[in-house]
């Protein structure tokens, strides 16, 4: 019970910290996904919404802990943890969207869009001299997948006639499956897929449209280059952490170590470490590198224009982008270190259709996707 309560409070703290991080990781000129000029960063309407979002998020976390702990003490089970995290996340998203609507309304009613001349900046060096994929960072996930395959091959002949049900980051000992190469080496297959897919994702990110500031074109381009290099390394580090967690699960699947709560927790430790590293890095670098220190001459840089207002193309508080006139397929979101598809581009709808098809096939049982395991 103590473990469940600790896990519950940890999840509540994590969700709350992630929600609060959305306000201080984004640039001051993008409060709650709304583009404003530097002159409006400290506008009373913006400051009021920041304050209300912060207070509402903390109050929601306190309410989540007050409600969930008695439910856990009443032997409701670990399902309470997932339900609490989901409910708290939804409340935080609603609070964020409310702040977005309020800031956007203040911007429209105050005529902020017409206060300055707008423009865009283009740096062709991102095409002629792009950021290179750091191939050496691909070595850790590759080595982990190779070690997993070696251990699995060594253990295969000593496995019994059945194996526990593999669930991605955990096992279900109550459900057994026949021992076969496919069932025994499923963790290795997932590791191989991750090792191949993540570099492709990195290449997409490196070739996506740069997120530059027309007011400071030189400084924002330099910062964005540094930012992209860090994102590439973090994504490849994420592949290594994913593969390491799968290796811990595989060791339990093959009977190298006995399944226990400690080993189950150990499965998620690489991912927890990755989240901590990501948050520290984002705090130092910021959205699109805006927190990076300026070089000599950059603080005084001013092109005489502000970044073009494209709020009409962004929906759901700066997370969904739709612009039929934009040739870019992959664009940087206005929240955090994330990219999204331009839903106004035909290629984006092909990708969405493929994802929905996989989800439909999984729902009807044609294909199996990894399932979540609890700590019980």
Enumerate the β-bridge partners of residue 315.
320
Helix, strand or coil for residue 326? coil
Per-residue pLDDT, averaged over 125-148, amounts to 93
- Of the given ranges (88-97, 110-119, 137-146, 223-232), which has the lowest mean pLDDT? 110-119
Kindly report the average pLDDT of the chain as a whole number. Answer: 87
Q: Specify whether 288 is located in the same domain as 317.
A: no
pLDDT band at 75 (very low <50, low <70, confident <90, very high): low
Q: Look at residue 175 in the predicted model and tell me its pLDDT.
A: 86
Please state whether the predicted TM-score (pTM) of the whole model is above 0.85. no
Q: Specify whether 277 is located in the same domain as 325.
A: no
Q: Residues near 337 by Cβ (< 8 Å), separated by ≥ 6?
A: 231, 234, 278, 282, 287
Give the pLDDT confidence of 220-276 residue by residue, as tens digits. Answer: 999 999 999 999 999 999 999 999 999 999 999 998 998 887 888 888 899 889 988
In a domain, 120, yes or no: no
Q: Residues near 159 by Cβ (< 8 Å), separated by ≥ 6?
A: 179, 184, 254, 255
Helices (H) and strands (E) in the chain, counts: 10, 8
Does position 374 have pLDDT exceeding 70, yes or no?
no
Give the pLDDT confidence of 52-62 residue by residue, as tens digits. Answer: 999 999 999 99
Q: Specify whether 107 is located in the same domain as 233.
A: no
Q: Specify whether 86 is located in the same domain as 202.
A: no
Q: Specify whether 146 is located in the same domain as 237.
A: yes
Where does residue 325 rank: exposed (0-12), middle (13-18), buried (19+ CB within 10 A)? Answer: exposed
In a domain, 89, yes or no: yes
Q: Look at residue 172 in the predicted model and tell me its pLDDT.
A: 81
In a domain, 282, yes or no: yes
Q: Specify whether 92 is located in the same domain as 193.
A: no
Per-residue pLDDT, averaged over 293-311, amounts to 83
Q: Specify whether 170 is located in the same domain as 286.
A: yes
* Nearest of 55, 215, 196, 220 to residue 138 by alpha carbon: 196
In a domain, 305, yes or no: no
More confident residue, 105 or 369: 105
User: Into how many domains does the chain fold?
Assistant: 3
Does position 375 have pLDDT exceeding 50, yes or no?
no
Q: Residues near 283 by Cβ (< 8 Å), separated by ≥ 6?
A: 24, 25, 291
Q: Look at residue 355 in the predicted model and tell me its pLDDT.
A: 84
What sign does the dihedral 209-128-226-206 (CA atoms) show?
Answer: positive
Q: What is the DSSP string of 50-117?
A: HHHHHHHHHHHHHHHHHHHHHHHHTT--THHHHHHHHHHHHHHHHHHHHHHHHHHHHHHHHTGGGSS-
Give the pLDDT confidence of 325-368 residue by residue, as tens digits. Answer: 888 888 988 887 888 899 999 998 898 888 888 878 777 766 66
* Nearest of 179, 192, 189 to residue 255 by alpha carbon: 179
Does position 105 have pLDDT exceeding 90, yes or no?
yes
Domain boundary among 294, 328, 357: 294
* Nearest of 279, 199, 186 to residue 237 by alpha carbon: 199
- Rounded CA separation 252/248 (Å): 7
Does position 299 have pLDDT exceeding 80, yes or no?
no
CB 191 within 8 A of CB 197: no
Q: Specify whether 328 is located in the same domain as 361.
A: yes
Q: What percent of the chain has pLDDT over 90?
A: 38
DSSP annotation of 209 reads P
Helix, strand or coil for residue 25? helix
Q: Domain span at residue 231? A: 134-294
Q: Look at residue 367 in the predicted model and tell me its pLDDT.
A: 63
- Rounded CA separation 85/88 (Å): 5
Does position 200 have pLDDT exceeding 70, yes or no?
yes
Enumerate the β-bridge partners of residue 341.
330
Q: Which stretch of DSSP H or E encloses residue 49?
A: helix 44-73
Token duo for residue 274:
């990755």
What sign does the dihedral 209-22-275-167 (CA atoms) show?
Answer: negative
CB 281 within 8 A of CB 25: no
Domain boundary among 113, 147, 168: 113
Q: Specify whether 195 is located in the same domain as 81.
A: no
In a domain, 55, yes or no: yes
- Rounded CA separation 39/233 (Å): 35
Q: Look at residue 338 in the predicted model and tell me its pLDDT.
A: 84
Q: Look at residue 232 in the predicted model and tell me its pLDDT.
A: 95
Per-residue pLDDT, averaged over 88-105, amounts to 93
Q: Specify whether 237 is located in the same domain as 317.
A: no
Does position 90 have pLDDT exceeding 60, yes or no?
yes
DSSP annotation of 133 reads P
In a domain, 238, yes or no: yes
Q: Specify whether 290 is located in the same domain as 315.
A: no
In order of 31, 172, 183, the CA distances from 49 in angstroms are: 9, 46, 52
CB 88 within 8 A of CB 16: yes
Domain boundary among 248, 263, 294: 294
In a domain, 129, yes or no: no
Q: Specify whether 359 is located in the same domain as 257.
A: no
């Amino acid at each position: 019970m103590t473990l469940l309560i600790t896990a519950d409070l940890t999840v509540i703290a994590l969700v709350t910290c992630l929600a609060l991080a959305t306000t201080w990781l984004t640039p001051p000129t993008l409060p709650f996904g709304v583009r404003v000029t530097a002159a409006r960063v400290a506008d009373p309407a913006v400051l009021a919404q920041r304050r209300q979002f912060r207070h509402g998020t903390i109050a929601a976390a306190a309410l989540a802990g007050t409600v969930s702990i008695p439910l856990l003490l009443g032997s409701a089970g670990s399902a309470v943890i997932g339900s609490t995290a989901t409910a708290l996340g939804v409340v935080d998203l609603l609070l964020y969207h409310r702040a977005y609507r309020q800031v956007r309304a203040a911007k429209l009613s105050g005529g902020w869009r017409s206060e300055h001349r707008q423009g865009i900046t283009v740096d062709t060096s991102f095409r002629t001299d792009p950021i290179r994929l750091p191939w050496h960072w691909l070595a850790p996930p590759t080595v982990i997948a190779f070690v997993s395959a070696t251990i699995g091959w060594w253990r295969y002949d000593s496995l019994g006639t059945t194996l526990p049900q593999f669930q991605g980051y955990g096992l279900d000992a109550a459900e057994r499956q026949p021992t076969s190469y496919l069932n025994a080496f499923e963790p290795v297959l997932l590791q191989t897929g991750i090792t191949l897919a993540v570099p492709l994702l990195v290449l997409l990110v490196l070739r996506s449209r740069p997120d530059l500031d027309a007011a400071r074109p030189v400084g924002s381009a330099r910062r964005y280059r540094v930012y992209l290099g860090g994102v590439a390394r973090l994504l490849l580090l994420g592949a290594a952490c994913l593969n390491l967690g799968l290796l811990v699960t595989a060791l339990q699947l093959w009977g190298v170590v006995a399944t226990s709560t400690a080993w189950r927790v150990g499965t998620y430790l690489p991912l927890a470490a990755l989240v901590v590293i990501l948050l520290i890095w984002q705090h130092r670098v910021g959205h699109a590198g805006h927190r990076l220190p300026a070089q000599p001459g950059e603080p005084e840089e001013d092109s005489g224009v502000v970044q073009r207002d494209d709020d009409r193309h962004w929906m759901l508080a700066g997370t969904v982008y739709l612009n039929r006139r934009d040739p870019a397929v992959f664009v940087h979101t206005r929240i955090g270190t994330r990219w999204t598809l331009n839903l106004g581009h035909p290629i984006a709808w092909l990708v969405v259709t493929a994802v929905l098809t996989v989800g439909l096939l999984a729902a009807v049982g044609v294909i199996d996707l990894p399932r979540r395991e609890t700590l019980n």
